[in-house]
């Protein structure tokens, strides 16, 4: 992992047991690949938790956003424990309340409706990225 | 004798497609190949020390499915004092199947899916072996 200036680290839970974990993962990749490719990097949460020093160093120095599937907030608590409090936390199950028609059903492959939900989550992450980088510039 | 469920835990590494291969292989086993004999658990929840997740991995045989040689799933199961009985690393399986070029993290390409299928069959066979020994 290369440390770069003005990047925001996005750490998602990727929760394996629930569809919301898959939404957190896909939303994170949508930000990285499509919405804010130049402003973001992702950190592998299991590597981070297993002692990946590059990941932990990045999260100590650069702002991070935790993306959690549910209220247990494993990505947020893991980041806080090993590096410092994330600047923002996005919880998929909370965002879903705003879009009651969009359901998370599959853990493996997202259908069109689930991809739409993932994009809604991705847009909220991207908004936070902009807020964070804007604050850095104006400081 | 108490019947166990085999707990299959992928690393879900998000930086490269190999993490997705491990994750998809896991769902092929838990949702289709051996739905009654296996389940998964959130690795991050386990690492956070949640009591139910810890109990699950300590009382049942676990198979770690890792994307790369960092073996984060294996290490985190061991750190949780889980009953790790087998570990699979996607890069090892890829070495035996050099023709396959897995790509994609959001969605795997066909070759990535093929690799996931190969790994899923291996996990299913291992599950049968583990549960057979308990009989």
Domain count, chain A: 1
**B18 lies in some domain:** yes
Residues 6+ apart with CB under 8 A from B45: A15, A17, A72, A74, B53
Interface check for B102 against chain A (CB to CB < 8 A): the answer is no
**What is the extent of the structural domain holding B61?**
6-130
Best probe of the B interface among A46, A65, A82, A106, by most B CBs < 10 A, is A46
**B123 lies in some domain:** yes
Which pLDDT tens digit goes with each residue over B21-47?
Answer: 999 999 999 999 999 999 999 999 999
* ipTM of the complex, rounded to two decimals: 0.92
**B83 lies in some domain:** yes
| Contact pairs from chain A to chain B, CB under 8 Å | 91
Instruction: Give the pLDDT score at A2.
Output: 44
pTM of the complete model: 0.93
Is the C-alpha dihedral spanning B45, B33, B106, B22 positive or negative?
positive
Instruction: Give the pLDDT score at B107.
Output: 93
Q: Tell me, what DSSP letter sits at residue B108?
A: -
**A38 lies in some domain:** yes
pLDDT at B7 over 90: yes
Confidence band (pLDDT; 50, 70, 90) for B123? very high
pLDDT at B83 over 90: yes
**B101 lies in some domain:** yes
The CA-CA-CA angle for residues B109, B91, A74, to 5°, reads 80
Residue A31 belongs to a domain with what CATH number? 3.40.50
Interface check for B107 against chain A (CB to CB < 8 A): the answer is yes
DSSP string, A27-61: HHHHIIIII-TTTEEE--HHHHHHT-HHHHHHHHH
**Distance, CA of B107 to CA of B127 (rounded, Å):** 26
Interface check for B11 against chain A (CB to CB < 8 A): the answer is yes
**B29 lies in some domain:** yes
**B10 lies in some domain:** yes
**A87 lies in some domain:** yes
**B1 lies in some domain:** no
Mean pLDDT by 10 residues, chain A (139 residues): 71 95 97 97 86 84 95 94 92 97 93 97 98 75
Contact B86, B63 (CB under 8 A): yes
**A1 lies in some domain:** no
Domain count, chain B: 1
Q: Tell me, what DSSP letter sits at residue B3?
A: P
Pick from B11, B14, B45: CB nearest A72 = B45
- Alpha helices per DSSP H over chain A: 19-30, 45-50, 53-61, 74-82, 92-96, 112-138
**What is the extent of the structural domain holding A88?**
8-130
**Distance, CA of B37 to CA of B133 (rounded, Å):** 14
**B135 lies in some domain:** no
């Amino acid at each position: 992992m290369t440390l770069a200036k003005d990047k925001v680290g996005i750490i998602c839970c990727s929760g394996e047991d629930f569809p919301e974990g898959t939404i957190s993962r896909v939303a994170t990749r949508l930000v990285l690949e499509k919405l804010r490719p130049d402003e973001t990097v992702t950190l592998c949460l299991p590597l981070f938790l297993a002692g990946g020093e590059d990941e932990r160093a990045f999260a100590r120095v650069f702002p991070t956003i935790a993306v959690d599937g549910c209220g247990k907030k494993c990505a947020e608590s893991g980041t806080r424990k090993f590096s410092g409090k994330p600047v923002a936390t996005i919880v998929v199950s909370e965002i879903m309340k705003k879009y009651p028609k969009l359901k998370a059903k599959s853990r493996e492959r997202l259908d069109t409706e689930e991809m739409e939900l993932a994009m809604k989550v991705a847009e909220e992450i991207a908004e936070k990225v902009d807020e964070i980088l804007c604050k850095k510039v104006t400081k | 004798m108490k019947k166990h469920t085999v707990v299959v835990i992928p690393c879900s590494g998000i930086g490269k497609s190999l993490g997705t291969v491990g994750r998809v292989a896991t769902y092929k086993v838990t949702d289709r190949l051996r739905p009654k004999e296996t389940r998964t658990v959130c690795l991050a929840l386990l690492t956070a020390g949640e009591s139910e997740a810890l109990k699950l991995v300590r009382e049942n045989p676990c198979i770690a499915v890792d994307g790369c040689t960092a073996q984060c799933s294996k290490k985190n199961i061991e750190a949780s004092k889980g009953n790790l009985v087998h570990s699979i690393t996607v890069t090892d399986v890829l070495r035996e199947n050099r023709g396959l070029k897995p790509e994609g993290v959001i969605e795997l390409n066909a070759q990535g899916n093929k690799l996931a299928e190969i790994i899923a069959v291996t996990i299913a066979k291992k599950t049968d072996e583990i549960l057979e020994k308990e009989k």
